[in-house]
Amino acid sequence: MANMTPLAERLRYAIPQGLSLKIGVLLAVGALIAGPLLRILSETLAPQTIAAWSDVVLSPLSRNLLWVPLSNTLVLGIGVAGGCVLIGGFLAWLVVMTDVPFRRTIGLLATLPFMIPSFATALAWSSLFRNSRVGGQTGFLEALGLAVPDWLSWGMVPTFIVLTAHYYSLAFTVIAAALATVNSDLVEAAQMTGAKRGRIFAGIILPVALPAIVSGASLSFAGAVSNFAAPALLGLPVRMQTMATRLFGMIEIGQTARGYVIAILLIVVSAFFLWFGNKVISGRQSYATITGKGGRAKRFELGPVRLPLLAIGMTICALTTIVPVVVLIASSLAPSSSALFSNWTLHYWLGTSNPSIAHGQAGVLHNPFIVSATATTVSLGLVVAITGSILGLMVAFTLARYRTGLVSGVINQIAFLPLLVPGIAFGAAYIALFGAPIGPFPALYGTFTLLVIAGTAYLVPFSVQTGRAVIQQVSGDLEESARLTGAGFFRRLSAITMPLASRGLAAGAIIIFVKIMRDLSLVVLLFTPTTPVLSVLAYRYASEGFTQFANAITVVILVISIAATLLANRLQTKSQPWLKN
Amino acid sequence: MISLSNLTKSFGNFDAVKSISLAVPEGAFLVLVGPSGCGKSTMLRMLAGLEKPSRGTISFGDKTVSDGERGWTIEPAKRDTGLVFQSYALWPHMTVAGNVEWPLTVARMAAFERKARVTEVLSLLGIDALADRYPNEISGGQQQRVAIARMIAPKPKVLLFDEPLSNLDAKLRVEMRTELLRVHRATGATSIYVTHDQVEAMTMASHVAVLKDGEVEQFGAPGDLVAQPRTAFVATFVGTPPANLIPASPHGSKMILAGEPMVATFSLEGPALAMFRPEDLTVYDKPGPRSIAMEFAEASPVAGRMMVTGTRDDLRLTAVVDEAPKFYPGDPVYFSLPEAPAALFSLKGERLA
């Protein structure tokens, strides 16, 4: 700095501070997020492809291409949102407001289903309920002699159940956090007026929790309409299409333009409901802020229904966490999913190729394809964890440092855009942009690099939030007081910032890793045999009838992601205020 | 009349309230005062019916409303009480008018009557202009008024207050004290008020119960507590400033006060605590007869007089004098004692003379 040339000196004052940083970050998020999305739109508007719009929306084909999948998607979305709010809300109420025993356990279990990938739950469902309609192995219940009707085995109902079992923990988390801010004084003040329980619930608790209920519902809705795994595994065999599966099918058979149109419409549906939920909430008063001192937590006495409600809560938790995992493990050991708990063999794990079992497929640990997929997946997770953390931190830093201004506003909007975009549509957008060479750059389709870029971009909203939390933790008074002692930038970085931020950063990176590990919908379209990924492999095996292999791979994913999640929780010493007494 | 007899509340093995008995006449303003953890809020919650006593009874008039022995208590809403919470507990999704109206709706008051009552109490508290605002759109003092309006709207016979002023700034607190007394007079209801601030107790109460560790140290009118403290704790807890307690022990013909041997002007059988009122002490910048050397801590003008405080180890003495030399922190300051203490307490804190 000391020997700065006069020109640099002048430039320093001529250019607004931080402009280069802002422009750099803008270019990064623009290329990673806005680029693919604009590209997929322009792709469908080109003269030779614009006909895809009318094919999809207004043609004899459009009933099958759009309207039936759309109505299935909406029915699923609305049903799952309702189911999630009921179950998640009930559990949140139980854990936060009542004196039910084992509250901590229920609270912990209720957050787990979201960590189990939805294709795992779907696979577990079909191991139990699969009937003989589409051939292949039948499920456990059929083997017990129970006739499983088609509607329980395939299509809308099982998809709805599996998605609800997966997404209710989202609703639980949001509603529990909101209920935890309801001061028990509010309830006691209502008791003083003589209002009965039902009236207090309807007049006080429900309205105060309404914003959280609405946001729980819209998050579950967006999750359900974007989900690919569950409808693909449970619906496709009986030709039930949702927009996500239709989009996948179109791109698989090479009708990319039509696929892109469906992707755009899917983004519109998902984004509309998220926007609508936000709108409903933001039009209302914010309630959470009213707290004085005091406010002891007095729990609602359940009296005689205490144990029955405990049983219901525990059953829900067990059915959505423990049962699927147990079924998956058992089924990866049993030669036939009709006899889950007998004749166990480690063949599907350790066995070498044997023509009499599973068409000679070798066990998971001997199968070169699966071993290389594990390596690819883990390295993908690690690389994205690092790139995502760095990008997230940079964006968060830029936004924290330069809060106002047009560029910051645009960065902020773009960074959170992926939240509105279903993973499979995002994957489609990446194919649209990187499927062909751009200028001097070769086509990235089928390369590890593409998976890294797409994964990093898709998780930007999440990594920015982590980065923000880290920056908030560190910046401000702590850093300033260090600056006042005269410590230089690097001294401060090593003595104050890094020690304080490292845990948060590490925890955030691990969670990114887990999200990538268990993701299916983003990578399902980007998958090629040269870049095998575990989740897609599990899906392929399942759709080809090799249930045990699919389940064994899923168990591998589960073990890695649960171990990583526990590590992250430990690092974060995650605060769950609603569990405190 | 409100009477408590042998009222006890235990949480597990811990007795938060230990066998308290007292009675106040109808229309009284009873203040329960004591340091945090003394059981005052638990008592208030039992009076409100939010907690069941473990033992003992509470009666309003000749009607028993809680009976710990039989484990039975009348519901909060049926005992004709209203409660103002420390957090105010305003329902955030209802407007100011909505907050005041809801209890009346629950009580099935007719709509036109309800509207009239809401308007009446809002104007009694001077917040009629805020009727359509939400709680998070008004200031802390205004929220406080809404909480009071909501409480008095159903015309309860007993008004309960749980540290209602502790979230307000100093100036508002003084204003709201006056406001509360006005509401108390206007409603004619019996008020029970919990606070840790003895100034509030002394200014507002007709009856004060000083609580410590779940027991009543002294129960009486504010003036009596200051004039005739029954325990060393009360002596040092009430009064502005509170009285000084100096360890005293007889030594031959001398009396040792705070380590200084002095001519014995009163008699003692053994070590004790002597109480001296601040207005009975004088301060000098040089040693004199019957003086205790202290280190100057602070001084402030009080109503035309000077309040001077000195410290030494654990001892802290305060004098209120007409004039004092100029001291700087750390200067020696000599507190001169009168011949007779205002009261004597045993080392355990019981009153001797």
The residue ranges of DSSP E strands in B221-290, in sequence order, are: 244-251, 254-257, 260-263, 272-276, 282-284
Q: What is residue B271's three-state secondary structure?
A: coil
Residue of B nearest to A290 (CA): B136
Shared domain check, A370 and A222: no
Does the beta-carbon distance from B48 to A285 stay under 8 Å? no
pLDDT, tens only, A142-168: 777 778 888 888 889 999 999 999 999
Shared domain check, A523 and A385: yes
Chain A CB contacts of B91 below 8 Å: 186, 189-190, 204, 208
CATH number of the domain where residue A495 is located: 1.10.3720.10
Shared domain check, B144 and B95: yes
Does the beta-carbon distance from A292 to B86 stay under 8 Å? yes
Indicate whether A102 belongs to any domain. Answer: yes
Residue A40 is encoded by which pair of tokens? Answer: 């997929």
Which of B77, B83, B117 is CA-nearest to residue B97? B117
Indicate whether A62 belongs to any domain. Answer: no
DSSP one-letter string for A61-85: THIIIIIHHHHHHHHHHHHHHHHHH
Shared domain check, B165 and B295: no
Residue in B91, B100, B161, B166 to test binding to A, most A beta-carbons within 10 Å: B91
Contacts 24+ apart (CB under 8 A), A527-533: A528/A445, A528/A446, A530/A446, A530/A447, A531/A376, A531/A446, A531/A447, A531/A448, A531/A450, A531/A451, A532/A369, A532/A372, A532/A373, A532/A376, A533/A373, A533/A376, A533/A377, A533/A380, A533/A451
Shared domain check, B252 and B232: no
Q: Which residues of B touch A (CB under 8 A)?
A: 48, 50, 75-78, 81-83, 85-93, 102-103, 106-107, 134-136, 150, 154, 162-163, 166-167
- Among B201, B221, B237, the domain-final residue is B237
Q: Is 60 exceeded by the pLDDT of residue A169?
A: yes
Q: How far is A469 from chain B (nearest CA, A)?
A: 26
Shared domain check, A398 and A320: no
Shared domain check, B147 and B205: yes
Q: Which residue has the higher pLDDT, A188 or A296?
A: A188
Q: What is residue B19's three-state secondary structure?
A: strand
Q: Is 90 exceeded by the pLDDT of residue A109?
A: no
Q: How far is B265 from chain A (nearest CA, A)?
A: 50
Shared domain check, B171 and B29: yes
Residue of B nearest to A296 (CA): B87
Q: Is 90 exceeded by the pLDDT of residue A98?
A: no
Shared domain check, A515 and A451: yes
Please report, in tens digits, the pLDDT of each residue of chain B (353 residues total): 899 999 999 988 888 999 999 999 999 999 999 998 888 989 998 998 888 899 999 999 888 999 988 888 888 878 888 889 888 888 888 889 999 998 898 888 999 999 999 999 999 888 999 999 988 889 888 998 999 999 999 899 999 999 888 888 888 888 889 988 998 998 889 999 999 999 999 999 999 999 999 999 999 999 999 999 999 999 999 988 899 999 999 888 888 888 888 888 888 888 999 999 999 999 998 888 889 999 999 999 988 899 999 999 889 999 999 988 888 888 899 999 998 899 999 998 889 87
Q: Is 50 exceeded by the pLDDT of residue A16?
A: yes
- Please name the member of B82, B89, B106 whose beta carbon is closest to the beta carbon of A199: B106
What is the DSSP-derived secondary structure letter of residue B350? Answer: B
Does the beta-carbon distance from B136 to A208 stay under 8 Å? no
- pLDDT of the residue at A287: 53
Q: Return the number of CB contacts < 8 Å for A and B.
A: 90
Q: Which residue has the higher pLDDT, A496 or B109?
A: B109
Indicate whether A367 belongs to any domain. Answer: yes
- pLDDT of the residue at A289: 41
Indicate whether A43 belongs to any domain. Answer: no
- The type of residue at A326 is V
- pLDDT of the residue at A211: 84
CA distance A432 to A424: 12
Q: Is 80 exceeded by the pLDDT of residue A339?
A: no
| A131-135, A465-469, A533-537 — most confident range | A533-537
Residue of A nearest to B78 (CA): A194
Shared domain check, A318 and A364: no
- pLDDT of the residue at A352: 67
Residue in A181, A187, A192, A213 to test binding to B, most B beta-carbons within 10 Å: A192
Q: How far is A581 from chain B (nearest CA, A)?
A: 15
Shared domain check, A281 and A378: no
Does the beta-carbon distance from B87 to A204 stay under 8 Å? no
Chain A CB contacts of B78 below 8 Å: 194
Residue in B41, B85, B158 to test binding to A, most A beta-carbons within 10 Å: B85
Indicate whether A427 belongs to any domain. Answer: yes
Shared domain check, A518 and A381: yes
Indicate whether B350 belongs to any domain. Answer: no
Residue in A179, A184, A193 to test binding to B, most B beta-carbons within 10 Å: A193
Indicate whether B56 belongs to any domain. Answer: yes
**Cβ of residue A188 closer than 8 Å to a chain B Cβ:** yes
- Please name the member of B90, B106, B150 whose beta carbon is closest to the beta carbon of A195: B106
- Please name the member of A203, A287, A292 whose beta carbon is closest to the beta carbon of B87: A292
Shared domain check, B252 and B141: no
Q: Is 60 exceeded by the pLDDT of residue A574?
A: no
If 0-12 CB within 10 Å is exposed, 13-18 middle and 19+ buried, where does residue A564 land? buried
Indicate whether B353 belongs to any domain. Answer: no
Shared domain check, B298 and B216: no
- pLDDT of the residue at A5: 59
Q: What is the residue range of A552's domain? A: 343-349+360-572
Shared domain check, A323 and A364: no
- The type of residue at A389 is S
Shared domain check, A84 and A206: yes
Indicate whether B47 belongs to any domain. Answer: yes
Does the beta-carbon distance from B86 to A203 stay under 8 Å? no
Shared domain check, A368 and A279: no
- pLDDT of the residue at A434: 83
**Cβ of residue A199 closer than 8 Å to a chain B Cβ:** yes
Does the beta-carbon distance from A293 to B86 stay under 8 Å? yes
Indicate whether B352 belongs to any domain. Answer: no
- Among B209, B237, B265, the domain-final residue is B237
CA distance A357 to A246: 33
> Confidence band (pLDDT; 50, 70, 90) for A356?
low
Between helix A243-252 and helix A423-434 the angle, nearest 10°, is 30
Residue of A nearest to B154 (CA): A193
Q: How far is B102 from chain A (nearest CA, A)?
A: 8
A365-382 core/surface letters (b: 16 or more CB in 10 A; e: else):
bebeebeebbebbeebbe
Does the beta-carbon distance from A188 to B106 stay under 8 Å? no
DSSP one-letter string for A458-503: HTHHHHHHHHHHHHHHHTTHHHHHHHHTT--HHHHIIIIIHHHHHH
Indicate whether B200 belongs to any domain. Answer: yes
Shared domain check, B266 and B132: no
pLDDT, tens only, A213-271: 888 898 899 889 989 989 998 988 888 999 999 988 888 888 888 888 888 999 998 88
Does the beta-carbon distance from B166 to A298 stay under 8 Å? no
Does the beta-carbon distance from A294 to B86 stay under 8 Å? yes
Shared domain check, B215 and B73: yes
- pLDDT of the residue at A294: 40
- pLDDT of the residue at B324: 83
What residues contact B125, with CB distance under 8 A and at least 6 apart? B145, B146, B148, B149, B179, B183
Phi and psi of A36, rounded to 5°? -60, -40
pLDDT, tens only, A396-409: 888 877 777 788 88
pLDDT, tens only, A259-300: 888 889 999 988 888 888 877 776 555 454 444 434 445 677
Mean pLDDT, chain A, whole residue set: 82
Which of B216, B215, B240 is CA-nearest to residue B226? B240
Q: Please, which residues bridge with residue A539 across strands?
A: none
Indicate whether A223 belongs to any domain. Answer: yes
Query: Which chain A residues in 256-285 lie under 8 Å from chain B, judged by CB atoms?
Result: 284-285
Phi and psi of A438, rounded to 5°? -115, 115
Q: Is 70 exceeded by the pLDDT of residue A575?
A: no
Indicate whether A542 belongs to any domain. Answer: yes
Q: What residue has token string 């591998």?
A: A556
Q: Is 80 exceeded by the pLDDT of residue A503?
A: no
- pLDDT of the residue at A288: 47
Lowest mean pLDDT among A15-19, A107-111, B250-254: A15-19
- Please name the member of B76, B134, B167 whose beta carbon is closest to the beta carbon of A293: B167
Number of domains in chain B: 2
Chain B CB contacts of A285 below 8 Å: 92-93, 134, 136
Shared domain check, A217 and A143: yes
Shared domain check, A371 and A260: no
> Confidence band (pLDDT; 50, 70, 90) for A17?
low
Between helix A256-282 and helix A68-97 the angle, nearest 10°, is 40
Number of domains in chain A: 2
Q: What is the residue range of B124's domain? A: 2-237
Query: In whole angstroms, how far apart are CA A196 and each of A92, A193, B156, B303?
Result: 21, 9, 19, 53
- Please name the member of A189, A210, A287 whose beta carbon is closest to the beta carbon of B89: A189
CA distance B16 to B83: 20
Indicate whether A1 belongs to any domain. Answer: no
What residues contact B168, with CB distance under 8 A and at least 6 apart? B140, B141, B144, B176
Q: How far is A189 from chain B (nearest CA, A)?
A: 7
| A290-304, A344-358, A561-575, B307-321 — most confident range | B307-321
Chain B CB contacts of A210 below 8 Å: 93
Which of B265, B264, B261, B269 is CA-nearest to residue B253? B264
pLDDT, tens only, A410-432: 888 888 888 888 888 888 888 88
Shared domain check, B193 and B70: yes
- The type of residue at B185 is R
- Among B218, B237, B256, the domain-final residue is B237
Q: Is 90 exceeded by the pLDDT of residue A524?
A: no
CATH number of the domain where residue B289 is located: 2.40.50.140
CATH number of the domain where residue B109 is located: 3.40.50.300
Indicate whether B138 belongs to any domain. Answer: yes
Q: Considering chain A, what percentage of its residues have pLDDT values greater than 90?
A: 14
> Confidence band (pLDDT; 50, 70, 90) for A7?
low
Shared domain check, B333 and B276: yes
Does the beta-carbon distance from A183 to B87 stay under 8 Å? yes
Shared domain check, B254 and B212: no
